[in-house]
Amino acid sequence: MKKALRITGYLLAVVIAAVAAGYIYLQYAFPNVDAAPVLSIEKTPALVERGKYLANHVAVCIDCHSTRDFSRYSGPLQPGTEGKGGDRFDHSLGFPGTFYARNITSDKETGIGAWTDGEVYRAMTKGVSKNGEPLFPVMPYKAYSQMKTEDAYAVIAYIRTLAPIRNEVPASDPDFPMNLILRTMPSDEAPMLEQTALEDEVTKGKYLLTISSCGDCHTPRDKGNPIEEMHLAGGSEFPTPDGGKLRSANITPDRETGIGNWTAEVFVQRFKSQEHPAAVAPGGPNTIMPWSMYAGMKEEDLRAIYSYLMTVKPINNKIERFTPPAKS
């Protein structure tokens, strides 16, 4: 009996040692990415203007990093909060932990005023913060890694112009084992977009859709991974604060359940009509889709996205867009 207990004790010690070694390895060997590049981006007026357009109306970086007014449809930004951070993503939204969008204004204590351009670029495209910690991919760095270099530089140039706002954002707190898995996600092997001119409308549309991270919401997921055979077929669920449920739309060209019957003009107008969102009644249908921001996208860019969407595989997937909260 004593011998059996000793063997059990040894085995337990080995297991504990292996777990400890694995934990230490993940803590110190990951994220496995290179040091931030040495960059000093020349913030020309043209570059800043391009970055302002991308950050507000295409990649919509300013969306998560500001305060949104959900008393109006699609939660337009509250003026004066641009870049202050604090948007919370937690268990109520299906996240494995509690994650916050950080302050990206130029405030040196609570924002990124003390970050180098290279550190901001690495965070955007690799998902690693200034101190080497991994970012949860609600920050769409995998999409931004496919951004043309000059466009990524433009976004950084614009962000540097945001007025400093003193706003201390809490540190993100991933659950176990996500805190360890998260460390393995950033990688230097992430595919980078070939730096070519996007003169073909379909190619341009795919590029714009990619850096807009449309697939993140419009492709359903299984255990956190996109279901590739359901690419852009919609159905991802988003709980509302009052207990209702939103679901993303099917944006494949399926004629019954998607946008296959839409013309380019209808597609463009759907966005442009939301420039000034109306007030929403309590418990009424709303959406996290930042329509008012996308409404500022150039018509030619919206048409390019439409042209690309018409080339993807049509998937029949009927979506119940909104389920109101249960009556008490």
pLDDT per residue as tens digits for the range 251-294: 999 999 999 999 999 999 999 999 999 998 876 778 888 999 99
Inside any domain, residue 191: yes
Residue 130 shares a structural domain with residue 172: yes
pLDDT at position 26 = 46
Residues 40 and 184 in one domain: yes
Residue in 154, 127, 147, 129 with CA at minimum distance from that of residue 138: 127
How many Cα atoms are found within 13 Å in the side-chain-facing hemisphere of 36?
Answer: 20
Instruction: Determine, yes or no, domain membership for 259.
Output: yes
Of the pLDDT bands very low, low, confident and very high (cuts 50, 70, 90), residue 133 is very high
Q: Which of 138, 162, 195 is the last residue of a domain?
A: 195
In a domain, 16, yes or no: no
Neighbours of 171 (CB within 10 A): 9
pLDDT in tens, 160-171: 999 999 999 999
Same domain membership, residue 203 and residue 172: no
Query: What is the percent of the chain with per-residue pLDDT over 70, rounded to a whole number?
Result: 86
245 with 214, same domain: the answer is yes
In a domain, 14, yes or no: no
Give me the residues paired with residue 323 across strands: 245
Q: What is the pLDDT of residues 54-86, one digit of tens each?
A: 999 999 999 999 999 988 988 899 999 999 998
Q: What is the pLDDT of residue 17?
A: 47
For the chain, what is the domain count?
2
Q: Are residues 130 and 74 in the same domain?
A: yes
pLDDT at position 246, please? 85
Nearest to 178 by CA among 144, 138, 129, 119: 138
Same domain for 130 and 191?
A: yes
Residue 228: give the domain boundaries: 198-328
Are 43 and 157 in the same domain? yes
* Whether residue 124 has pLDDT greater than 70: yes
CB atoms < 10 A from the CB of 122, how many? 24
173 and 305 housed in the same domain: no
pLDDT at 15 over 80: no
Q: In terms of domains, do 134 and 283 share one?
A: no
pLDDT tens for 17-37 read: 444 444 444 444 446 678 889
Asked if 54 and 175 sit in the same domain, the reply is yes
Same domain, 169 and 76: yes
Q: Which of 162, 195, 228 is the last residue of a domain?
A: 195
Cβ atoms of 90 and 99 within 8 Å: the answer is yes
Helices (H), the chain: 2-29, 45-57, 61-64, 117-126, 141-144, 149-159, 178-181, 201-211, 214-218, 264-272, 291-294, 299-309
Last residue of a domain, one of 195, 210, 239: 195
Give the model confidence (pLDDT) of 191-232 as tens digits.
Answer: 555 555 577 899 999 999 999 999 999 999 887 788 989 999
- Mean confidence (pLDDT) of the chain: 87
In percent, how much of the chain has pLDDT > 90?
Answer: 63
Q: Which of 110, 115, 51 is nearest to 84 (CA)?
A: 110
pLDDT at 154 over 70: yes
Query: How far, in Å, CA of 79 to CA of 101, rounded?
Result: 18
Residues 177 and 219 in one domain: no
